[in-house]
Amino acid sequence: MRTIDVFNGDADGLCALQQLRLAQPAEAELVTGRKREIDLLSRVVAGPDARVTVLDLSLDRNRAALDRLLAAGASVRYIDHHRASARPVHPRLELHIEAAPDTCTSLIVDRLLGGRAARWALVGAYGDNLAAAADARAQALGLPAARAAQLAELGTALNYNAYGDSDADLAIHPRALFLRLRPYADPFEFIAREPIVAMLIAHRRADLARAAALEPAASCAHCAVFELPDALWARRVQGTFAHQLARAAPQRAHAVLRLRADGGYAVSLRAPLARPSGADALARRFGGGGRAGAAGIDALPAGRRAELVAALCAMWDGGAAPPAPA
C-alpha cells in the first residue's frame, strides 16, 4: 500500500510528522511546502491502494481535494488545529481536529501517541508560538528550563525556515529538512549534530534585528501595525516577527504587513496572547484564514489596507482610530 504524508512545512507540521513516523515507521511519499502553501492535498493523486496522512493543514482549504481522494477510494487520516467550518464523516476518514487556541497539531499528535516522542511535540509547540502550553508540557516531562529553552530555539528556527514567497527564499526546503530530522529520536541530538540548526538560528537573529528597528506604521492602545518592505529578509522574517511582537506585548493585537511585488500586502495577524481569539475571523473577512490566535492573509489589495487597520482596531481596541502612518 502506498503511504503518503502531506504536511505543512513549518515547525508544527514537521514535528507532528516526526512524532508519527518515530512511533509508526513507514516509507512515505512526502508532500510539503512553504508555510503559506496550504492547499497541498490538491497535489495528491491516490486511490484504494493509498493511505494518506494530512498534518497541520486547514480542512476548509483542502476540502475539495479531500472529498476527491475519498471518492477515489483512498484512506485518509487528518490531524489539524485550524478551525473547520464542517467536519465530514466517512468510513475511510480518521479525523482529529481541535481548534482550541492553546493547542497545535504537534500537541494533538503527542496526545494521540501517549507522549511517545514528546520532546518533538515541544519543538513544534514552541515553534507555533504556544510557549505557555509548551512550558506546561515541558514541566510535566520534568525537563529543566534551560533544556526547554533549547527546544524553543530549535522550534522557532524550524518555523522561521518555512516563510517565503518562493522556494528560493528558503534556506532549505521543508522536505529536505524533514529528511534531516527523520533519523533523530531526540531533538537534542539533532541540535548537536546538524550544522543547519546553527545556520537557521543565525539567519533568524540577523533578520529579526532588522525588523526590530522598525517603528509601528500605526498603533492604538491595544493594537499595532508594522510594515515590512518587499525584500528577501522581510519575506523570511514576517511570521517570526509577528510571533515576537505578540510575546513582547501580550495585551496587544498585531498586524505585520509585508509589501508584495504586485503592490499588495501579505499579512500576519496575531490576537493578543492574553485573549487569543478573533484573528481567524478577521483574516477571513479579507480572504485569509488561520486560527483564533494567529492568522494570515496571502494577498491583501493595497486599496484595502486602511480597511484592515480599521477592522483591527475595531476588534481589539473598541473602534479607536489609529493615527495615520507617516
**258-298: per-residue pLDDT in tens?**
999 999 999 999 999 888 889 999 999 999 988 888 999 99
Of the candidate CATH numbers 3.10.310.30, 2.40.50.100, 3.20.20.140, 1.10.10.10, the domain formed by 215-316 belongs to 3.10.310.30
Q: Are 236 and 210 in contact (CB under 8 A)?
A: no
High-pLDDT (> 90) share of the chain, % = 83
> pLDDT per residue over 125-180, tens digit each?
999 989 999 999 999 999 999 999 999 999 999 998 998 888 998 999 999 999 99
The residues near 290 (Cβ < 8 Å, ≥ 6 apart) are 58, 82, 269, 279, 280, 283, 296
Q: Classify domain 2-201 at the CATH topology level.
A: inorganic pyrophosphatase (n-terminal core) (3.90.1640)
Query: Which of the residues in the chain have pLDDT under 50?
Result: 321-326
Which H/E stretch holds residue 15? helix 11-23
Rounded to an integer, what distance in angstroms lies between the CA atom of residue 32 and that of residue 55? 10
CA distance 104 to 125: 6
Domain with CATH 3.90.1640 in the chain: 2-201
Q: Could you give the residue range(s) of every CATH 3.10.310.30 domain in the chain?
A: 215-316
Contact indicator for 13, 123 with CB cutoff of 8 Å: no
Q: Name the percent of the chain lying above pLDDT 70.
A: 97
